[in-house]
Structure formats: C-alpha cells, structure tokens
Amino acid sequence: MHFRCARYSRGNLDCACRLPARSPRCRWFWWTASWRCPPPGSPTTYILKPPIARFSATTENDAFVMRLAAAVGLDVASVETRVVRARTFLLIQRYDRALDGAGVVRRIYQEDFCQALAVPPETKYANEGSPTFSVCFGLLRRVAARPAVDLLKLLDAAIFSLISGNADAHGKDFSILYEPQGARLAPLYDLLAAVAYPDLSPKLAVKIGGRTTLAEMDATAWAAFAADAGLGLPLVRRPVVELSAAVGDLAEEVASALMRPGLDEPALSRFVGLVRDRAEHCALTVQ
C-alpha cells in the first residue's frame, strides 16, 4: 500500500487572510511495518495530511467536514484520522488511482478547474481572477460526459461549503477526473470549516450570487446564483433546504463516529455547534 505525505507550511497568513498554499509534498509508502520512500515515479494511493501548526484541531476539522459531506450524500474522498505518538494526521485515499488487471496501481488523469481553464494557480481566488461559479458550471457543461449529474454535484458542493463554513474553497479545490468512460467532476477534497478560526477570512473564496458570507445570503442572492449556474431557482432552493436539514440532523452523529483517543473532543463539539447554527441560518435564507 502506498502513501503520500503532504507537508504544510501554513505558519503565516497571506494578505487576504486565507490559508496559504502548500509547500512541496514528500511521498511515502508502507512496507513491512515501516514507512519508506516510494521508488521514483511510482504512483501513490494515499495522502498524509498533518495538522496546520498555527490553527488548533485542523485534523479534527478536516475529518469532520469531509465525513459530514459524505454523510449528507456528497461525493467525497475517503478519509481517516490517525494518531501516532500523540500527533494527529489525516489519511486521505486518492481517487485518481486504479488497479489494473495485474494489480499494478495506475494513475487516472485529473486537472483542477484552474488548470482546465488555464488560470495561474497564484490567482486561484475569484477576486484575483480565478473561476467564478458561472465559469465553473460552464466548464462542466462543456467537458463532463454526464453534465446534468455533475452540475447538480457542483451545486451541492457550493451549498455545502456555505453551510459548513468552507470559505477557502477556490478554483483549485474542484477538479475534473478523466476516466475511460468520460470526464466527470472529481470527488471533493480539502474541506475545512475555515470560519472556525477568527484569524481567517470568513468571506467565500468564490462568491455565491454576488455574496461573500452566509450573513449576506437571501432569496435575491440565491436567484442570482441560480442565474449564474444556468439552473432554475426551484432546483437551487431544494438542496439548500435539504442539505441544511441533513447537516443539522447528522452533525452530532458524524462527530461521535469520528471520535477516538488522541483527538480533540471539545473541538469536535465546537465544530458540530458551528455547522448546526450555520445550517439553521442557511435554511432561512431561501424564504
């Protein structure tokens, strides 16, 4: 089994008070009960994501939001929490890998939305020139093998990011997976309730209906978002109500299932309260 370790150097906030970009990653694989470097060029099948030093309980935050997204029906990369010598980390299974008939791990080509649209990674936020949701929906209409399916998945992802406080979701956090049967929206990854940290900006990296925070959302904003997405307003209103209800109903259950020795239980409880409050608020914005 192969693993990949992502080293993060997020000690300083950038000028927009966003999560700074990752430093280069190092790859590892598990072999005969020990960690080893993989052979050059070999595909890895897992990502090891350590906590962000400056912010508390980011492993718990990441895992909770990812598991919650899966629980409410979103297509999300599989994640596990691990604790080694009192240090937490997240183990994320790569979705862009497959075993061939000989049992060899093969890469599946993917590209994030910025790459697909030839947008430089340094301008990954919408206010810096990165893709807006209107552009993102347009991209899926052009390249997805089943655009009707993927448009609804992207819609759910945008709504869930708003509810969960995943304000840092930007053009490099959505990808297209090029499988033999055709291109599709890749499973979601790198979900974090950034609004849990006062030092981070609560503003959405990609606006929804011209708004940047949950407090600004109302029926007019959802109508504008529906127009941007090229979807009917009833098709947008329904998942807002349904996802808000599902998040409120399942947040505690997800956190309880996630809890294990070594994780920060009070932090998980705070995250539960945060997303429940936001879900209740979000449900009211379509009225």
Cα 259 to Cα 153, 189, 200, 255, 268: the distances in Å are 28, 20, 25, 6, 8
* CB neighbour class for 55 (10 Å; exposed up to 12, middle 13-18, buried from 19): middle
- CB neighbours of residue 205 within 10 Å: 25
Choosing from 96, 112, 168, 173, the catalytic residue is 168
Torsion of CA 262, 263, 264, 265, to 10 degrees: -100
- CB neighbours of residue 181 within 10 Å: 8
Alpha carbon distance 127, 201 (integer Å)? 13
Alpha carbon distance 140, 146 (integer Å)? 9
- CB neighbours of residue 151 within 10 Å: 20
The amino acid at residue 238 is: R
Q: Count the alpha carbons within 13 Å of 152 in the hemisphere toward its beta carbon.
A: 11
Alpha carbon distance 149, 50 (integer Å)? 33
Torsion of CA 56, 58, 63, 69, to 10 degrees: 100
Please say if 75 is a catalytic residue.
no
Alpha carbon distance 116, 279 (integer Å)? 32
| Residues carrying an active site annotation | 168
